[in-house]
Structure 1
Amino acid sequence: MAGDGEPGQRPGLSGAVAGGARERGSVGQKGGAVSLAGSAEQGAVEGAGGVRVAEDSVDEDSPAYWLCQKVVFSLGEIGTPEAREHLRRMTTLSWPDVVRWHAAVELGVEDELGFDEEQMLR
């Protein structure tokens, strides 16, 4: 494991998986890689890789944004400060409302951001 990042860190397997998903395959195939990325190991590399997958796929992921939702749920499961920061960025207006809402729910700030749960679940 030496030479694979900072001392004491596990190698970036899931970052590589997420990167591979970004380069090829359908949204469904990418979703499997995101699930693996979210559960394989903890940390910023995985979160960043998942967010890049979501960013690259947001247009083809419309209207339900299933892949983006998987990224959000994976980031919530990772739960590190870096993952939470990625989630916070996904609550900004640059993301579709559905994605923003799911990210806000993971952070527990959906009411603060003014989301109406009934409207979002339609």
Structure 2
Amino acid sequence: MELTHPPAELSDEDRDAAARVDSLVVGRGYIGRQRAGEVAAAVPEARARILDWLRASAGTGDWRRFERLACVALHLHPEGLGSILAGALEPGVRGVDAEELVDLLGELRAPEGVEPIRAILFERRTSDGPLYALCLKAVQALGEIGTPEALECLGAIATAIPEEWPAVLRRYSAEELGLGRDVRVQPEEG
């Protein structure tokens, strides 16, 4: 997991620059391509340093800052972002907004995200109901990632017997695979 080796200490300049980036996005809503571009223009070193800032935020357990920086990084396309986001979803990491990171991994189409997303699905399939917000986000992210491993996971869910997976997750997995609702979901299952 890439998060196990955060930088020992950020320089004062790096801490200041990361704080400037954070101040430009905190409390200002959705961080899209335009806002990320504005941040990069205001703090030019963000493009080259944002991965180290993510590692440092994870290393100190500052998950809210980590998530904001990750949203900026998504639109700056730094090499290695997928590994850092996937590492934050590893079992045992507490305090992270898993739904946000799953969404970012899907949007990034990061193959590194398949295994931790799959693990979340297996872990939460019985406890995430009745709405299954995180699990449905995970199914969608696997569809966006679209690697053979991601599609295999969706196929296993879509064709599972009812006792193994909730009907809503089997149905959404089938839809992500383009199978529509034509899977083994009995009417009484919902």
Q: Scaled by the length of structure 1, what TM-score is found?
A: 0.71
Over aligned residue pairs, what C-alpha RMSD do you find? 2.5
1:1-122 pair list within 5 angstroms: 11=80, 12-19=83-90, 23-25=93-95, 29-43=97-111, 45-91=112-158, 92-93=160-161, 94-115=164-185, 120=190
Structure with more of its chain in helix, by fraction: 2
Relative contact order (alpha carbons < 8 A, sep ≥ 6): 1 or 2 greater? 1
Equivalent-residue separation in structure 1 for 2:137 and 2:125 (angstroms): 12
CA offset at residue 57 of structure 1? 2.0
Runs of 4+ deviating beyond 3 Å: 114-117
Looking at structure 2, the residues matched to 61 and 23 of structure 1 have their Cα atoms a distance apart, in angstroms, of 18
Are residues 103 and 97 of structure 1, via their aligned partners in 2, closer, same or farther at CA, if it must alter by over 3 Å? same
Alignment CA distance shift 1:14-1:80 (3 Å): same
Describe the SS at the equivalent of 1:95. coil
Stretches of structure 1 lacking an aligned partner (at least 5 in a row): 1-9
The percentage of aligned residue pairs carrying the same residue is 29
Give 1:85 shift.
0.8
Aligned residues: 106
1:7 paired residue number: none
Q: Say which is worse superposed, 97-106 or 46-55, in terms of deviation.
A: 46-55
What is the TM-score when the length of structure 2 is the normalising length? 0.48
Distance across 1 between alignment mates of 2:145 and 2:85: 12
User: Which residue matches 2:25?
Assistant: none
Q: Highest CA radius of gyration, 1 or 2?
A: 2
Q: 1 CA distance for matches of 2:109 and 2:181?
A: 30
